[in-house]
Amino acid sequence: MNAPTRILGISAYYHDSAAALIIDGIIVAAAQEERFTRKKHDAGFPEHAITYCLHEAGISLAELDYVVFYDKPLIKFERLLETYLAYTPRGFRSFLAAMPVWLKDKLFLKSTLKRELSVLGNIKENNLPPLLFTQHHESHAASAFYPSPFHKAAVLCLDGVGEWATSSVWLGDGNTLTPEWELDFPHSLGLLYSAFTYYTGFKVNSGEYKLMGLAPYGKPRYSSLILDNLLDLKDDGTFRLDMSFFNYATGLTMTSSKLHKLFGGPPRKPESDITQKEMDIASSIQAVTEEIVLRLAKTVHQELDVEYLCLAGGVALNCVANGRILREGPFRDIWIQPAAGDAGGALGAAISVWYSYLDNPRISNGTDDMMQGAYLGKRFTNREIISYLDQAGAKYTQMEDRQLMPRLAELLDQEQVIGWFNGRMEFGPRALGGRSIIGDPRSRKMQSVMNLKIKYRESFRPFAPAVKAERASDWFEIDRKSPYMLLVAPVKGNKRLPMTEAEEQKFGLDKLNIPRSDIPAVTHVDYSARVQTIHSNTNPRFYDLINHFEERTGCPVLINTSFNVRGEPIVYTPEDAYRCFMRTEMDYLVLENILLAKGDQPKLKRDDTWKQEFGLD
């Protein structure tokens, strides 16, 4: 019997560092470094994520067959030089000024990785497993295609920038990925969207979700201005940006004074009031993004003549655009990597070695993916949880599921907000029923309560419905799986509530508190919802909870939002969960089979210093 092949994938040094472990083609573990360090979007060497992956498999670093990094630094260096020479008037002087940072992070990447791995594994560098590198977009493409259910599919990768590519098209067939064509830096859909994230006052590389959530409150009044001035968009979806409106290629900001003049003023200051202008700009750039993505999808389908499409890269997290591809595009079905951003590059790098480098056969059934619901992080036992709670002096009750689930359904029916800590932690940016905050979607006050008193975030941010998979089409206009919360679909017409004439005349954030359906807390102002289908085979306990809630209320839907507050990563440990529970106005906390009520907890000295760090005081 052959020894198993163990492959560790790593992403790091840009943003969202992560590690993923593949053993004989099976995804054994994957996690982002931010969950361990508690630094959101941590880009450092993922020593904690690597340690977790190895511990999950019960192996040491020395027992790995390959370590693979998701980027090729030399390509990036050569292209960076070309870009500075082309776009920077000061030429070499500006390039040399930036050189020390680049040298540290990129030029010496191979030696840095070897040193970090050597220290982590306590082994000499010459005894390390072979160190391989994939191209950035190859890692994205591999993460999208190889775990997908499809034997043959087009692959579209859209992000800010890899080594040089910003958009790339691939053909996946069996165990092969063939590059077809790409668009190169600085012409980037991801950076175009991020430029408007910056201009509307949100943080680049994390505020793009906010821009997408704000879009339905506005009108696309600026779409023509964007299309007529900022980019030359072709019928096939390819485009070129007018770089005089942007600063990201040569400066320290995303946009230039020329763009500010075109849009009537400087960027909104972070945390200042959001005006109708920002809402209309959000609506406009979202509309432009969707138009580009739809054109690209139609072109890819025409050129490659395949029935299926796989998506990865940061732009693939735009679930509104994904929903439109599914409904209006030419493909029979699509599949999106749940960790579509750079964290997923660690997984793509590892799995590309198994299939592309080692030429192992790949089996797909057209229905099931390989991601195991994206539940690839650590699980904590009841014993570990109780050990921590006893040390913390917490008050709790341990209950079997047959008692716990009906009790939780009762509490949810009473509009109580519950922290839900269950099973393995999710891989990717979404909480999928492992580290979630849950509530009653029928409540008209729940969106406001959860945003302002629990998440400490903007009131307009929407929440997602988690719905039993077999009941999804009864409540939403969707006819297939959506386990990773990456598809937006309209709420069914028979679940919608009519609006009065006065309500229809409202605009902007005044739309927020108008109930639009039988599940108003998860229905956006345009009657859409970011749907997550819950499956008994991948998350049986969360499915069981929703089932009990449906038996009690007739509603097979719960609010599902990530278990964190604004500015912090999703919780990882029972300690993280308890701390978040005590800092917020959550009513109950469930840690596996342990139930805690906020009113029963000891009166701790309130520590609000963490709010200052995130500008919430």
Give the pLDDT score at 37: 97
How many residues would you count in the chain?
Answer: 617
Give the pLDDT score at 86: 60
Same domain, 267 and 364: no
Give the pLDDT score at 80: 56
Same domain, 329 and 351: no
Give the pLDDT score at 611: 45
Residues (pLDDT < 50) of the chain are 91-93, 95-96, 98-104, 605-617
Paired tokens of 291: 């138009």
Give the pLDDT score at 76: 52
CATH number of the domain within which 136 lies = 3.30.420.40
- The answer to whether 291 and 122 are in contact (CB under 8 A) is no
Domain count, the chain: 3
Same domain, 63 and 11: yes
Instruction: Determine, yes or no, domain membership for 146.
Output: yes
Instruction: Determine, yes or no, domain membership for 585.
Output: yes
Give the pLDDT score at 87: 54
Task: Name which of 452, 488, 431, 412 is nearest 585 in CA terms.
Answer: 452
Kind plus residue range of the DSSP H or E element containing 542: helix 540-553
Same domain, 214 and 321: yes
Give the pLDDT score at 96: 47
Long-range CB pairs of 522-526, under 8 A, 24+ apart, other chains included: 522/441, 522/447, 522/462, 522/463, 522/464, 522/465, 522/557, 522/559, 523/491, 523/496, 524/213, 524/216, 524/462, 525/216, 525/217, 526/216
Q: What sign results for the dihedral spanned by CA atoms 53, 57, 58, 60?
A: negative
Paired tokens of 602: 């000891």
Same domain, 267 and 238: yes
Same domain, 457 and 363: no
Same domain, 133 and 244: no
Cα 156 from chain centroid (whole Å): 17
Task: Name which of 520, 537, 513, 540 is nearest 433 in CA terms.
Answer: 540
- The answer to whether 351 and 143 are in contact (CB under 8 A) is yes
- The answer to whether 530 and 432 are in contact (CB under 8 A) is no
State which residues form the domain around 544: 382-613
Paired tokens of 213: 């959530």
Instruction: Determine, yes or no, domain membership for 389.
Output: yes
Same domain, 109 and 19: yes
Same domain, 195 and 262: yes
Give the pLDDT score at 374: 98
Give the pLDDT score at 465: 98
Instruction: Determine, yes or no, domain membership for 1.
Output: no
Give the pLDDT score at 72: 84
Give the pLDDT score at 616: 43
